[in-house]
Amino acid sequence: MKKRSFILLVGAIVVATAAGFITRSSWMGGSSNAQGPQRPRMVSVELAKAERKSVPVDVDANGIVTPISSVALKSRLETTIVAVHFEDGARVNEGDLLFTLDSRQIDAQIEQAEGVLAKDQAQLEGAQRDLRRYNDLVGKGATTQVNVDNARTQSDILTGTIKADQAALDNLKVQKSYTTIRAPFAGRISAANVKVGNFVRPADVAPLAVINQMAPVYVTFAVPQRVLVDLRESMTKGVSSVTATIPGRQNSETGKVAMVENTVDATTGMVTVRGIMSNQSETLWPGTLVSTKLIIRTEDAIVVPTVAVQRSQSGNFVFVVKDGVARIQPVSVDRTSQGISVISEGLSGGESVVVDGQLLLSDGTRVEPRAKKAGA
């Protein structure tokens, strides 16, 4: 009886399991049919607009700051330094007194020349009186014409002597002016290489100090010869400009092109360009290496973020999204600068292009836009 009961129990369990499986299969099938056909796959992408705007045609290069004027101050006399009137590295203005040299010897020579001049002037006055007297006497027949001629000759000789004396005095006064050294232009002066009491002379190799003009300044750099024609045309129209930036800093100065070298370096194919910057705040220091941007002109063009441009064996293309569908659009890229690509063919402006998520796309893929990433 026990064996028979066990067999009946096992049979009941098997029947119940089979019935449950059949019921589940029917329910699953019915549910699948209720859902209908599956929706196409959607890809989340980030979009940007193709814009038409004014963009610069520019060339990046490395340059160096050079002063427009730089003078090494030297003594024109053999004498000693009496006074130094500036602080090392100070800013000086045109005409500021910088050095005073010992002038006692020249002062004595000037006094001597003044004495010689005064003596010769007195002699000239005497000769002129004799000439007037002889002219009166010859009219009365009291003297000869020879005496008149001799008096006139003596007067002329003394006149020439006085001119020579005056020239010698003027030369000494010029020499005296060399005993005070003044700034020939406004700028910044270097450290003084001499101090009070040092003996200086014109043959010295080292200058007393050096003054560099700080505002304005030149920025010299080289550009490829292919931009030379466009650059010269823009200079004629007055639309070119130069921006110089100190590497690692936001400080920059903007100016204009002052000069283009008259020859192209045959070994490098580069031509030297010089820009002039106002530099009123002395941002650019002579000798500083800077990053320069030569803006030749500006022009209207279609631009997209460079990350939107994809490359394939057939050329460049972008994914253009319209009505939620991404389509491949071949484009021609004219140039790329600072994360922006200028499109010469393929876009007309206003299109939505994919800038992130292109790896999951193909022609005709349905997409949905998403917000830009933080910090993008």
Count other Cβ atoms within 10 Å, centred on residue 180: 15
Q: Would you say 70 and 213 are in contact if contact means Cβ atoms under 8 Å apart?
A: yes
pLDDT of residue 15: 52
pLDDT of residue 32: 42
The number of helices, as runs of H, and strands, as runs of E, in the chain is 4, 22
Which residue is associated with the tokens 């006399």? 77
Fold held by 76-102+179-212: OB fold (Dihydrolipoamide Acetyltransferase, E2P) (2.40.50)
Identify the CA nearest to 198 among candidates 105, 74, 101, 107: 101
Q: Which residues of the chain have pLDDT under 50?
A: 1, 22-36
Domain boundaries, the chain: 45-53+301-369, 59-68+213-299, 76-102+179-212, 103-177
CB-hemisphere CA count at 13 Å for 198? 16
CA distances from 55 to 51, 74, 346 (A): 11, 51, 18
CATH 1.10.287 fits 103-177, yes or no: yes
Q: What is the pLDDT of residues 90-122, one digit of tens each?
A: 999 999 999 999 999 999 999 999 999 999 999
CATH 2.40.420.20 fits 45-53+301-369, yes or no: yes
pLDDT of residue 44: 92
Identify the CA nearest to 212 among candidates 120, 90, 116: 90
Q: Would you say 193 and 208 are in contact if contact means Cβ atoms under 8 Å apart?
A: yes
pLDDT of residue 250: 82
Q: Indicate the burial class of 91 (C-beta count within 10 angstroms; 0-12, 13-18, 19 or more).
A: middle
Count of residues for the chain?
A: 376
Fold held by 59-68+213-299: Elongation Factor Tu (Ef-tu); domain 3 (2.40.30)
Q: What is the pLDDT of residues 207-217, one digit of tens each?
A: 999 999 999 99
Q: What is the pLDDT of residues 215-267, one digit of tens each?
A: 999 999 999 999 999 999 999 998 999 999 999 888 899 999 999 999 999 99
